[in-house]
Amino acid sequence: MFDSFNRRINYLRISVTDRCNLRCTYCMPAEGIQLIPRERILTSEEILEITRVAVDLGVTKVRITGGEPLVRRRMVELVEAMANMDGIEDFGMTTNAIALPEFAKPLRDAGLHRLNISLDTVDPDRYRELTRCGDLVDAIAGIDAAIAAGFDLIKLNCVIQESSDEPDALGVAAFGKERGLQVRFIRKMNLATGEFWQVDGGDGGKCSTCSRLRLSSDGKLYPCLFSDLCYDVRELGIEPAIHAALEGKPLSGHKATREFNTLGG
Ligand code: SAM
Ligand code: SF4
């Protein structure tokens, strides 16, 4: 499918929850977030139906994100059902790795192709400071469980302030090299002020070739991360919402009033 600027749209990012087991400083405000009421969160059946329609319309790449996707219950079952769907060529998940010691192998066995794991530092004190509550030992155990589970590809996502020469970034680069994992540095963005950058080695932030639609965990399709425009799948119906999102997808983003956890970056 194509948007009104003739960009091919074949990538759906699905936020399965706005909840998280960490509180990263750049993602959530210190005072916490207004959570989506549980009864408004999409059911697994709804997520599968929306994905099915999107795939029938031309989506070939699906990424599950959050919040933290692994705090959602019955995630492995949902992944398995999606992995069995014809038409998805590239099926990944973005996670903070904290729950991977438990879930890496079941996710791999369920058919997930690849993982993007967020890791911004390998200094335990800095990790706690950046995540406000996380333990680096858990994240590293999760990364090692993912390596052992044999995913097609595991990338580390490292959010940086300014440059990949910062001490935290250098530490993550060395860790990635040691474990044989590709590291992508992502400059910290700000949805409220509209500061965003292209992601080195990725396709994020390149508006002219953007191929994405994003689904929030309460069923809204967002054509752009840096815009408040959204189309409610439950109100409009799945196919009309997808068509409206294609029509409404802006040429480039500006700013948005939500936090990162709503749409998963
Ligand atoms: N909880 C999962 C995780 O952290 O990997 C998935 C959701 S998280 C919102 C998705 C990605 O967005 C992570 O790689 C995270 O580092 C990134 N992210 C969050 N806030 C960001 C910001 N202000 N600027 C750039 N990337 C950000
Ligand atoms: Fe949670 Fe991911 Fe946001 Fe960190 S970046 S608070 S792990 S959703």
CATH number (domain holding residue 148): 3.20.20.70
Does residue 204 surpass a pLDDT of 70?
Answer: no
17-21 mean pLDDT = 95
Q: What are phi and psi of 123, to 5 degrees?
A: -95, 120
> Ligand 2 within 6 A of 22 CB?
yes
Res 135: pLDDT: 98
Examine residue 6 and state whether it is found in any structural domain, yes or no.
Answer: no
Ligand at minimal distance from the CA of 116 is 1
> pLDDT-derived band of residue 51, with 50, 70 and 90 as boundaries?
very high
Examine residue 3 and state whether it is found in any structural domain, yes or no.
Answer: no
Enclosing domain of residue 88: 11-259
Res 257: pLDDT: 83
Examine residue 4 and state whether it is found in any structural domain, yes or no.
Answer: no
Examine residue 145 and state whether it is found in any structural domain, yes or no.
Answer: yes
252-258 mean pLDDT = 85
Name the least confident of 38-42, 74-78, 132-136, 161-165. 161-165
Res 36: pLDDT: 94
Pocket test for ligand 1, best of 65, 259, 260 (most atoms within 8 A of CB): 260
Q: Which atom of ligand 1 is nearest to the CA of 189?
A: 24
Does residue 157 surpass a pLDDT of 60?
Answer: yes
Within 6 A (CB) of ligand 1 lie 20, 26-27, 65-66, 68, 94-96, 118, 157, 159, 186, 188-189, 260-261, 264-265
209-221 mean pLDDT = 97
> Ligand 2 within 6 A of 70 CB?
no
Rounded Cα gap, residues 116 and 101, in angstroms: 15
Report whether 10 contacts 44 (CB < 8 A).
no
SS (H, E, C) the chain: CECCCCCECCEEEEECCCCCCCCCCCCCCCCCCCCCCHHHCCCHHHHHHHHHHHHHHCCCEEEEECCCHHHCCCHHHHHHHHHCCCCCCEEEEEECCCCHHHHHHHHHHHCCCEEEEECCCCCHHHHHHHHCCCCHHHHHHHHHHHHHHCCCEEEEEEEECCCCCCHHHHHHHHHHHHHCCEEEEEECCECCCCECCCCCCCCCCCHHHCCEEEECCCCEEECCCCCCCCEEHHHHCHHHHHHHHHHHCCCCCCCCCCCHHHHCC
Res 263: pLDDT: 81
Q: Which atom of ligand 1 is nearest to the CA of 15?
A: 7
Q: Which atom of ligand 2 is nearest to the CA of 265?
A: 5
70-94 mean pLDDT = 98
> Ligand 2 within 6 A of 20 CB?
yes
Ligand at minimal distance from the CA of 185 is 1
Residue 68 identity? E
104-111 mean pLDDT = 98
Examine residue 77 and state whether it is found in any structural domain, yes or no.
Answer: yes
Give the whole-number percent of the chain exceeding pLDDT 90: 84
Domain count, the chain: 1
* Global model pTM greater than 0.75: yes
> pLDDT-derived band of residue 254, with 50, 70 and 90 as boundaries?
confident
Res 33: pLDDT: 81
Q: Average pLDDT of the chain?
A: 94
